[in-house]
């Protein structure tokens, strides 16, 4: 017994003396526990990859350390956390045809032709990213539009918001869809476009990705995220297959980005019946269940209290009755899961708030109910968030992308609770920021920029859209660090460089507190570190080119 204690003591001493790293001479910026901007000049990392000390002085006098990293005065931020992203979808999107940014149906067709020519052996062409709002036609694409580009094999292309797909005739044949096919409730079909619940009619025919393709997609996704300085993600709508991909990567030591997983619907609980502890060096945890209350605003699937201004015969899609939603959330909460529910329209948000209010007693003290997006809220409902302990998980770049569309869908007099970040914070509720990648780019810097400016990357509109909802830089950074960590029950591990938390940090090419919003959006990540190890570095040639510009 005594010998064991001695041996253990010696081991602890040896390891502590072996691997103390000091990072000095940095322009460190983060959010303190008081929510205010905090500056630091150096910090110390223990051998377990956790921070042991953070100091204001850039050149602290330390007598014992094993490794010194000179930050050369560069700016260091804690690793950024995206509270809501789709990790596998990001990887798949990067490996599939990408039609984002097309400016017309003709351009979409040209990209399809080019992709088909470059991938003659792909049995199916599956892609992502069209948005009819960017086209002069302002209409959904049709099967005939796709047939004109590729007709020899099935093509299925998802809308940028993920709520609709368009299929060519070969895909319709493969899926057995005919003119007589009726959409299920909660879905619509028109001219080869399948909205919300109807998507399944065509998507079920797409061959499932192989295990190798999944592993490849996860690796690709992590590389993209690390390159943008994202070290943690609220991994939304994790399917059981996704979960197994994460586990495989964890087992193989290939998981760098920390994933707080929200499994897709209560049916996932058959495979993952309860939340898991943190796994693989705190890289992965099943923390919650993701539910849906409605669709999206672009496809008029968001469920509104009043009819759409630009389509007065509809109020959008209600996915569940009050009793159904309550039952789903209750099943997840009683199993110990955090519940995160997608709600975009004001009617959906009110329904989810009421559901959480009623459920309060079913999760012990700390429920942290989440509403994903919280895009269009009735201003009367916002003060209900804080008393019920509801976190608003919002995406600042949705505001800049959706601005004109939201004005069209809602009209000018119903925007008071739209993307209302400052009102949410003033109400006392917690705010977490993310991007909903791959719906938007996973790059958090345009998100930080939109957060403080309510302007897009071109500075539009001047002064910002509904400028009263702008945040300070500290509030926006808080939502991308501490707020996002809190939203995933990870605030004891990540979100700030503080003793006991992981040394997850990034080195960037400018001081984000000293530049205008447009420059902030252009911030380049130079290095990304997780648990005190460098896991990504900008290629030297690329960095030099950037500097030379």
Nearer to Zn ion, 236 or 503 (CB): 236
Binding piece for Zn ion, criterion CB under 5 A, among 181-189, 235-243, 377-385, 500-508: 235-243
**Shortest Å, Cβ 519 to Zn ion:** 28
Q: Which is nearer to Zn ion, 375 or 481 (CB)?
A: 375
Nearer to Zn ion, 154 or 301 (CB): 301
Provide, rounded to whole angstroms, the least separation between the CB of residue 92 and Zn ion: 14
Residue written as tokens 């959480």? 356
Task: Give 436 or 469: the residue with its C-beta nearer to Zn ion.
Answer: 436
Judged by CB under 5 A, does residue 145 bind Zn ion?
no
| Closer residue to Zn ion in complex, CB, 24/436 | 436
Rounded CA gap, 446 and 444, in Å?
6
Residue 426's CB: how many other CB atoms inside 10 A?
A: 12
Q: How far is the CB of 174 from Zn ion (least distance, A)?
A: 27
Tokens of 281: 């060096």
Provide the minimum distance between the beta carbon of 38 and Zn ion in the complex, in angstroms, as a whole number.
31
Shorter beta-carbon distance to Zn ion: residue 145 or 436: 436
Binding segment for Zn ion (CB under 5 A), chosen from 46-54, 87-95, 229-237, 396-404, is 229-237
Q: How far is the CB of 341 from Zn ion (least distance, A)?
A: 12
Q: Which stretch binds Zn ion (CB under 5 A): 273-281, 434-442, 513-521, 523-531?
A: 434-442
| Cβ contact 291:265 at 8 Å | yes
Here the tokens at position 235 are: 């991994």
Q: How far is the CB of 407 from Zn ion (least distance, A)?
A: 22
Nearest residue (CB) to Zn ion, 235 versus 528:
235
Of the chain, the end-to-end C-alpha distance in Å amounts to 65
Secondary structure E strands in 183-321: 187-190, 193-196, 230-238, 258-264, 284-292
Is residue 436 part of the contact set for Zn ion (CB under 5 A)?
yes
Across 285-321, b (16+ Cβ under 10 Å) vs e yields: bbbbbbbbbbbbbbbbbbbbbeebeeeeeebbbbbbe
CB of 84 to Zn ion, least distance (A): 6
Residue nearest to Zn ion (CB): 436
Of 298 and 464, the one with the shorter C-beta distance to Zn ion is 298
- Segment lying near Zn ion (by CB under 5 A), choices 168-176, 431-439, 483-491, 522-530: 431-439
Which tokens is 128 given? Answer: 């992502």
- 8 A C-beta contact, residue 373 and residue 85: no
Output the six-digit token pair for 253: 């030591």
**In this complex, which beta carbon is closest to Zn ion, that of residue 49 or of residue 483?**
483
- Whether cis (ω within 30° of 0) applies to the bond prior to 284 is no
Residue with tokens 């459920």: 359
List binders of Zn ion among 59-98 (CB under 5 A): none
Site residues for Zn ion, 445-464, by CB under 5 A, read none
b/e code 91-107 from CB counts within 10 Å (16+ = b) = bbbbebbebbebeebee
Q: Give the shortest CB-437-to-Zn ion separation in angstroms.
A: 8
CB-based contacts of 361-368 (< 8 A; 24+ apart in sequence): 362/330, 362/333, 362/334, 363/333, 363/336, 367/333, 367/338, 367/339, 368/338, 368/486, 368/487, 368/489
Residue among 236 and 406 whose Cβ is closer to Zn ion:
236
The answer to whether 503 and 51 have CB atoms below 8 angstroms apart is: yes
The number of residues that bind Zn ion (CB under 5 A) is 2
Window contacting Zn ion (CB under 5 A); options: 35-43, 243-251, 433-441, 504-512:
433-441
CB of residue 85 to Zn ion, shortest distance in Å: 7
Between 236 and 520, CB nearer to Zn ion: 236
Tokens of 107: 């351009």
Minimum CB distance to Zn ion, residue 343 (Å): 12
The distance of closest approach from Cβ of residue 150 to Zn ion in the complex, given in angstroms and rounded to an integer, is 28
**Interface segment toward Zn ion; rule CB under 5 A; list 123-131, 261-269, 436-444, 449-457:** 436-444
Name the residue nearer to Zn ion (CB basis): 437 or 486. Answer: 437
Closest C-alpha among 81, 72, 21, 46 to residue 496: 81
- Min separation Cβ 236 and Zn ion, Å: 5
CA distance 334 to 462: 48
Taking the C-alpha atoms of residue 495 and residue 82, their distance in angstroms, rounded to an integer, is 11
Element spanning 372, H or E: strand 369-373
Task: Give the burial class of 19: count Cβ atoms within 10 A of its Cβ; 0-12 exposed, 13-18 middle, 19 or more buried.
Answer: middle
C-alpha–C-alpha distance, residues 329 and 327, integer Å: 6
Q: Name the residue with tokens 């789903």.
A: 328
State the nearest-atom distance from the C-beta of 442 to Zn ion, in Å.
12
Nearer to Zn ion by C-beta: 24 or 161?
A: 161
Please report, as ranges, the residues that interact with Zn ion according to CB under 5 A. 236, 436
């Amino acid at each position: 017994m005594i010998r064991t204690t001695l041996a253990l003591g010696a081991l602890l001493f040896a390891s502590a003396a072996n691997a103390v790293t000091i990072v000095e001479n940095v322009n460190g910026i983060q959010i303190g526990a008081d929510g205010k901007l905090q500056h630091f000049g150096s910090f110390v990392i223990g051998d377990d990859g956790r921070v042991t000390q953070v100091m204001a002085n850039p050149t602290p006098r330390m007598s014992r350390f094993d490794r010194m990293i000179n930050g050369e005065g560069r700016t260091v931020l804690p690793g950024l956390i995206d509270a809501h992203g789709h990790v596998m979808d990001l990887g798949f999107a990067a490996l599939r045809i990408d039609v984002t940014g097309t400016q017309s149906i003709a351009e979409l067709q040209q990209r399809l032709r080019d992709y088909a020519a470059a991938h003659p052996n792909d049995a199916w062409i599956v892609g992502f990213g069209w948005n009819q709002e960017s086209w002069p036609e302002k209409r959904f694409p049709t099967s005939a539009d796709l047939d004109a580009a590729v007709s020899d094999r099935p093509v299925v292309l998802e809308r940028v918001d993920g709520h609709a797909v368009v299929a060519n005739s070969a895909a319709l044949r493969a899926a057995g869809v005919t003119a007589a096919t009726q959409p299920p409730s909660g879905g619509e079909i028109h001219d080869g476009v399948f909205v919300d619940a109807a998507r399944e009619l065509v998507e079920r025919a797409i061959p499932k990705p192989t295990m190798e393709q999944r592993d490849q997609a996860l690796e690709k996704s992590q590389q993209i995220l690390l390159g943008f300085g994202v070290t943690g993600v609220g991994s939304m709508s994790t399917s059981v297959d996704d979960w197994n991909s994460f586990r495989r990567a964890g087992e193989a030591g290939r998981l760098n980005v920390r994933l707080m997983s929200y499994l897709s619907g209560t049916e996932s609980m058959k495979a993952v019946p309860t939340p898991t502890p943190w796994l693989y060096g705190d890289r992965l945890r099943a923390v919650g269940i993701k539910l849906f209350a409605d669709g999206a605003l672009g496809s008029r699937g968001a469920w509104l209290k009043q009819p759409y201004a630009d389509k007065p015969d509809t109020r959008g899609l209600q996915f569940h009755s009050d009793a159904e939603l309550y039952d789903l959330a209750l099943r997840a909460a009683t199993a110990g899961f955090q519940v995160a529910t997608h709600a975009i329209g004001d009617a959906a948000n009110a329904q989810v708030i009421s559901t959480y209010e009623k459920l309060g007693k079913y999760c012990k003290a700390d429920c942290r109910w989440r509403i994903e997006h919280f895009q269009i809220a009735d201003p009367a409902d916002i003060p209900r968030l804080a008393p019920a302990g509801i976190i608003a998980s919002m995406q600042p770049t949705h505001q800049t992308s959706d601005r004109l569309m939201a004005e069209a869908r809602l009209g000018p007099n119903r925007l008071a609770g739209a993307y209302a970040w400052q009102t949410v914070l003033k109400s006392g509720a917690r705010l977490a920021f993310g991007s909903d990648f791959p719906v938007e780019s996973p790059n958090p810097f345009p998100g930080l920029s939109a957060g403080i400016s309510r302007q897009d990357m071109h500075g539009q509109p001047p002064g910002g859209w509904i400028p009263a909802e702008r945040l300070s830089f500290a509030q926006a950074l808080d939502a991308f660090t501490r707020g996002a960590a809190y939203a995933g029950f990870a605030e004891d591990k990540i979100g700030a460089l503080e003793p006991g938390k992981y040394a997850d940090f990034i080195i960037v090419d400018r001081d984000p507190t000293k530049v205008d919003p447009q420059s902030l959006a252009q911030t380049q990540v130079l290095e990304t570190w997780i648990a005190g190890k460098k896991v990504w570095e900008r290629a030297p040639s690329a960095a030099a080119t950037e500097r030379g510009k």
